[in-house]
Amino acid sequence: MRNESKTVAVLGAGTMGSGIAIVMARAGHRTILFDVNENNLKRGIETVHGFFDKSVQLGKLDATAGQTAKDALVGSTDLADLAPCDVVVEAVFEDLQVKKDLFGRLDEIVSKTTLFHTNTSTLSVTGIASGSRLPERVVGTHYCNPAPLMKLVEVADGRHTAGWAHKATEEFLGSLGKVSVVTKDSPGFIVNRFLIPWENSCIRALEAGVATKEDIDAAVLGAVGHPMGPFRLLDIVGLDIHQQVATRLYEQLRDPRFFPPPMVERMVAAGDLGRKTGRGFYEYDNTRLFGS
Amino acid sequence: MNQFHRIGVVGLGTMGSGIAQVLAASGRDVVAVEADQTRAEAGIAAVGAFLDGGVARGKVSDDEKRATLARITTSTSLSDLADVDLVIESVTENPEVKREVLAAVAAVVGDETPIVTNTSALSVTALAASLPNPARVAGLHFFNPAPVMRTVEVVRALQTDQDLVARLVTLVDSLDGKQPIVVKDRPGFLINALLLPYLNDVIQEYDDGLATAEDIDLALKLGLGYKSGPLEMLDMIGLDVHLHATENAYAATSDDRYAPPPLLRQMVDAGHLGTKNGKGFRTGEKNTR
């Protein structure tokens, strides 16, 4: 796969964008990390470099491989730099118009055969694809957070996605060491479609006083085979993120199981967003999300 | 007396034999009652096979296996429960059968001996109400397989004596690798109240063509780190068992989330029960529709 090195752009240098850029550079693809904001871009590149430095420190990569991966990455704030790309992956802010506009502008810059991947988690792939004059090249590729560690990518075709684009996407994801599952372009795909109502029902059980948060977490761990109880997981995901995703899914599905329970709104209002603020359902001494 | 030393287990099916094993492994004497000798022997054989697996993996020594089996005595007569400190009922999940068995148990052990039921779907409060001195009745809900799953729900019926709840918590705490969770007697208690709607939802979405059964399971395992995907879990639980549980919860709550999805009922009608007969969502023929 490494001999088929491609030129890949990742748009948006936030958590997901930098994570996906790590995946691309690690797989040996020439990677352009794009962000309109110079500071975001700098932070994103630091995240990628930091990841590879840490991997070398931990002995997971040898020093040469670490340097090669770092060298594979360049940053840009100019869309015109994306002209040579074989694949572009957008991971910008979850806003339909922003994503559509981006694909529309890229139409003018890249070749007609460039694949357009959207990492949306809650918007419709078809809707985003409608921003491109060639919607047949647009495929939904939903990575899990943290992207460098999680193997799963949900692949969803829009209404107009072409068979060649889907096939090329699955092959490309294979070259990244990812495992793809194929799902319909429906709200929440597979993981969020089932996770959000599950988390909401756990929150409602807590609101109803069925058991304490500690007991619910422990009971789920010991009876269902989940790696983490629902409240520990919500604290890592972030209550604000849960609220956003749940609300977006509810707006599309109009099914009350997706609507974030009142406790979520209260916690977000209080700034108790989870680990990243030091307090969510539980309290934390440090705000590191992973590896602490 | 605060500890239960000699415990009766009524019903040696999958759950009953697992519970008997866990209790015996903790050093307690177990009197296991089944309807006939064949079933009693099958139950003991299941315990033996489970322990053999433990021996093969080096988790159980031969001596421990022998000692555990030696602490379980079987009987086909409830009258052998006369001198136990506690009875755990684990017969089939049918309210009439349970009520009949519990009444017969109560007639043998008298009004003071605590009686607990391992129901997962029925109201403990309703079962308690049918017995003399309902304050000595509670639920003790083990998950399948009982020797493996850590969580045990201690179910407090409306009538249950608080002291009995505390004694049951102590009992579960003393069992190897078990953690008691005290819950109210609500339909599905804690775990099934969360799990049944989730599993129903997955079945409906699968029927609606969201993704293949393999990809649904794979997505949740890789994306969320679940040990088993929902459709393999359903196969393991048994589609008939799940149907029965969710029908009961639906009857008790009139909550749509518990309403059995049509495909579930059809699969049970067609005799596709999951792992136990090799036909399910992920078992057997690729296309289970």
- All residues at 6 or more sequence positions from A283 whose CB lies less than 8 Å from its CB, including other chains: none
For B192-269, CATH number out of 1.10.1040.50, 1.10.3720.10, 3.40.190.10, 2.40.50.140 equals 1.10.1040.50
Answer whether residue B288 shows pLDDT above 70.
no
DSSP character at residue A260 = P
* Contact check, Cβ <8 Å, B179/A183: no
Interface check A83 vs B, CB under 8 A: no
Contacts of B150 in chain A (CB under 8 A): 221-223
Average pLDDT over residues B95-103: 96
Quick one: pLDDT band at residue A1, thresholds 50, 70, 90? very low
Task: Label residue A186 by pLDDT band (50, 70, 90).
Answer: very high
- For the residues B156-171, what does the mean pLDDT come to? 97
Beta bridge partners of residue B154, listed in sequence order: B140, B182
Planar angle of CA A90, A95, A98, nearest 5 degrees: 65
Q: Which residue's structure tokens are 């993981």?
A: A191
The pLDDT of residue B187: 93
Q: How far is CA A201 from CA A230, B195, B252, B284, in A?
A: 10, 10, 18, 33
Top CATH class of B6-184 equals alpha beta
pLDDT tops 90 at residue A166: yes
Domain map of chain B by residue range? 6-184, 192-269
Rounded to whole angstroms, how far apart are CA atoms B147 and B168? Answer: 17
Catalytic residue among A55, A192, A199, A200: A192
What does the pLDDT average to over B187-216?
A: 97
| Residue A207 pLDDT greater than 50, yes or no | yes
Q: Closest to A225 (Cβ–Cβ): which among B190, B198, B228?
A: B228
- Known catalytic residue at A192: yes
Q: What local confidence, expressed as pLDDT, does residue A290 receive?
A: 57
- Closest residue of chain B to A218, computed from CA coordinates: B151
Mean pLDDT, residues B260-272 taken together: 98
Confidence of residue B289 (pLDDT cuts 50, 70, 90): very low
Confidence band of A2 (pLDDT split at 50, 70, 90): very low
When pLDDT is cut at 50, 70 and 90, the band that residue B114 belongs to is: very high
Average of per-residue pLDDT across B121-147: 96
**Strand partners of residue A138:** A116
Q: Report the mean per-residue pLDDT for chain A.
A: 95
Cα distance from B191 to chain A (closest Cα, Å)?
Answer: 7
- Given a contact cutoff of 8 angstroms between Cβ atoms, the answer to whether A131 and A101 are in contact is yes
pLDDT of B88 > 50? The answer is yes
Strands B137-142 and B115-117: parallel
- Provide the shortest C-alpha distance from residue B226 to chain A (in Å): 5
Residue A41 pLDDT more than 90? Answer: yes
Residue listed under structure tokens 């705000």? A287
Q: How far is CA B196 from the centre of its chain?
A: 15
- Tokens, residue B112: 């003071």
DSSP per residue, A20-59: HHHHHHHTT-EEEEE-SSHHHHHHHHHHHHHHHHHHHHTT
CB B262 within 8 A of CB B207: yes
What residues in A contact B197, CB-CB < 8 Å?
Answer: 197, 201, 257
Look at B143 and A193 and tell me if their CB atoms are within 8 Å: no
Rounded average pLDDT over A150-172: 98
Residue B210 to residue A202, Cβ atoms within 8 A: no
Q: Does position A93 have pLDDT exceeding 50, yes or no? A: yes
pLDDT at B283: 87
Residues in Cβ contact with A81 at an 8 Å cutoff, skipping those fewer than 6 apart? A32, A34
pLDDT in tens, A211-237: 999 999 999 999 999 999 999 999 999
User: With pLDDT > 70 as the criterion, what percentage of chain A qualifies?
Assistant: 97
Question: What's the token pair of residue A52?
Answer: 């590879």
User: Residue A243: pLDDT above 70?
Assistant: yes
Residue B238 makes CB contacts below 8 A (sequence gap 6+) with B273, B274, B275, B276
- Write the DSSP assignment of B92-155 as a string of letters: -S-HHHHHHHHHHHHHHHTTTS-EEE--SSS-HHHHHHTSSSGGGEEEEEEPSSTTT--EEEEE
Residue of A189, A194, A218 with shortest CB distance to B198: A194
Q: Is B193 on the interface with A (CB under 8 A)?
A: yes
Residues whose CB falls within 8 Å of the CB of residue B170, separated by 6 or more in sequence, listed in order: B2, B3
Token pair listed for A176? 């990244």
Q: How many CB atoms lie within 10 A of CB A5?
A: 14
Q: Is the pLDDT of residue A3 over 80?
A: no
pLDDT, mean of residues A147-156: 97
How many of the other CB atoms lie within 10 Å of CB of B62?
10
What's the mean pLDDT when you consider all of chain B? 95
User: What pLDDT is recorded for position B2?
Assistant: 63
Three-class HEC string of A101-163: HHHHHHHCCCCCCCEEEECCCCCCHHHHHCCCCCHHHEEEEEECCCCCCCCEEEEEECCCCCH
Amino acid type, A20: I
Q: Look at residue A288 in the predicted model and tell me its pLDDT.
A: 66
The SS3 assignment for B206 reads helix
> What number is the average pLDDT over the span B129-157?
96
